[in-house]
Structure 1
Amino acid sequence: MPRPISRQTALLATLTTAVAVLAVAGVRLGLSTWLEAASVVTGAVCVWLTVRESVWNFPISLANVSLFCVLFFQSRLFADAGLQAVYFVLSLIGWRLWLHGGERGTALRISRIRPRHAGVMVACGIVLTLVLWMTLRYAGGSASFFDALTTSLSLCAQWMLNRKHVESWYAWIAADLVYVPLYAYKELYLTAGLYAVFLVMAAMGLMQWRATWRAQDGGTAHPAPGPVGAAA
């Protein structure tokens, strides 16, 4: 008999489906473009797969960041547009790490970041935020400080995600808390709604990955799935 669908899996599927429906509705009502809708839907699918530890999140991510790069450039969110290009490269790196970054080239397992590395990450995030803020102010970018802050948080989150660190979800949550009002301010309402959903999914990802890490620590968890795997 097939295994019953867990409550979390059902909620993730529901949220992703709701995002797709709202994206199409937004276009039909003239509240957004097809470009924004496609960016939103691929983004929701990508986060869903990431929460479930499916390595398929990376090819979806490559499509997603390409779409968002164009969208953000059109909205003069230059740091976010540039961030998507960096994401493209990081996604390729993360794809390889998830498949072969574990012991002896095996699939990577969920882990916690070391305190020393966490301190370096915070310091790098602060410096990057300040540098980007000054650069964006000079370039005439919109909402330059918050654009720089979310860019720094997202880069730190992606670096940790590539290594399957639980703490990546804390960084994503912090970024989403800023992204929602930022995109609403830029009148990207559909994208703002998407990031509100991302916030919920990131909280679910944090709980799921923490539970998996605890199970691994007790010797009961399995390694991260391969290219066609997904968490149950």
Structure 2
Amino acid sequence: MDLFAWFDLFKQQLKEADAAQWAVLILGVAEVLLAKANKIWLYPAGIGATILSVYGLFQAQLYAESFLNVYYLVMSIYGWWYWVAKKNEPPVRITHASAADWKITIAIVAGAGVLLYFVLKLYTPSNVPAWDAWVSATAWAGMWLLAKRKVENWILLNISNAFAIPLLFYKSLPLYGVLTIVLFVVACFGYFDWRKIERSTVASDTKA
């Protein structure tokens, strides 16, 4: 399919997008901007976007991604509580993933990927079980690294995003696709920002 054909398809899909998809896009962008500004309101925006995403992705038969968003919802609620409870305490330091961290990361991707694939293949009408499982498995691994404050979390999250973008357009969810493109770009900046912070922390420790 050439570029013009893709553009025509994108315009058609935009016309078919419903209010819920537009709400997900608006709330998702708001969440990213609020996160960048370090504002606590990122959590209610994220919770709203996630609730709508669970329903929309389930309707599109992207069951693994729908379940993944349930996890996002739980983590957003926890993050909101944790922010309020621990906001005056120093954050966990940003570091690079160790060899042990990478072993766990690979195990998460492989284990979650295989499990999700067979669940989707055997118990759902999904027509993209491998694709859906891969997107969710790499996101799970990325979120684990994010919780550990590892620079490489952005790499895993963007592997997930890179495969999610065409999947979402294939499933006629163009606004979810656009939001994921935004998240992909933000994750690129996030990687370099975190790497810079990690290097400055190491330099400070060396001087001390």
Measure how far apart 1:97 and its partner are.
5.8
Measure how far apart 1:71 and its partner are.
0.9
Normalized per residue, the structure richer in helix is 2
1:186–1:197 Cα change, 3 Å: same
Name the stretch that deviates more: 59-68 or 173-182: 59-68
Q: Percent of pairs identical after alignment?
A: 23
Gaps of 5+ in 1: 1-25, 221-232
* 2:188 counterpart SS class: helix
Distance 2:128 2:187 in 1: 24
1:147–1:175 Cα change, 3 Å: same
Distance 2:50 2:17 in 1: 18
* 1:110 counterpart SS class: coil
Q: Is the 1:100–1:108 contact (alpha carbons within 8 Å) kept by the matching residues of 2?
A: no
Deviations 1:84-143 (A, max 9, x none): 1111122334456667779x9533332323320221121121111011001101122131
Measure how far apart 1:50 and its partner are.
4.0
Deviations 1:48-69 (A, max 9, x none): 4445555543333222211101
* 1:199 counterpart SS class: helix
Alignment partner, residue 4 of structure 2 = none
Deviations 1:21-64 (A, max 9, x none): xxxxx8xx633111001111222232344455555433332222
Q: Is the 2:108–2:140 contact (alpha carbons within 8 Å) kept by the matching residues of 1?
A: no
Alignment partner, residue 186 of structure 1 = 171
Distance 1:32 1:131 in 2: 31
Distance 2:97 2:85 in 1: 19
Q: Please say if 1:211 is aligned against 2:196.
A: yes
Q: Is the 1:128–1:152 contact (alpha carbons within 8 Å) kept by the matching residues of 2?
A: yes
Distance 1:41 1:212 in 2: 29
Q: Is the 2:54–2:69 contact (alpha carbons within 8 Å) kept by the matching residues of 1?
A: yes
* 1:108 counterpart SS class: coil
How many pairs align?
Answer: 193
For the aligned residue pairs, the C-alpha RMSD in angstroms reads 2.7
Alignment partner, residue 143 of structure 1 = 128
Alignment partner, residue 105 of structure 2 = 121
1:100–1:166 Cα change, 3 Å: farther
Match of 1:132 among 116, 124, 137: 116
Question: Structure 1-normalised TM-score?
Answer: 0.73
Distance 1:101 1:113 in 2: 24
Alignment partner, residue 74 of structure 2 = 89
Q: Is the 1:160–1:167 contact (alpha carbons within 8 Å) kept by the matching residues of 2?
A: yes
Match of 1:58 among 38, 43, 56: 43
Q: Is the 1:109–1:164 contact (alpha carbons within 8 Å) kept by the matching residues of 2?
A: yes
1:168–1:95 Cα change, 3 Å: farther
1:196–1:175 Cα change, 3 Å: same
Match of 2:63 among 78, 88, 103: 78
1:50–1:78 Cα change, 3 Å: same
* 1:165 counterpart SS class: coil
Q: Is the 1:90–1:158 contact (alpha carbons within 8 Å) kept by the matching residues of 2?
A: no
Distance 2:103 2:86 in 1: 23
Alignment partner, residue 47 of structure 1 = 32
Letter matched to residue 151 of structure 1: S
Distance 2:147 2:84 in 1: 11
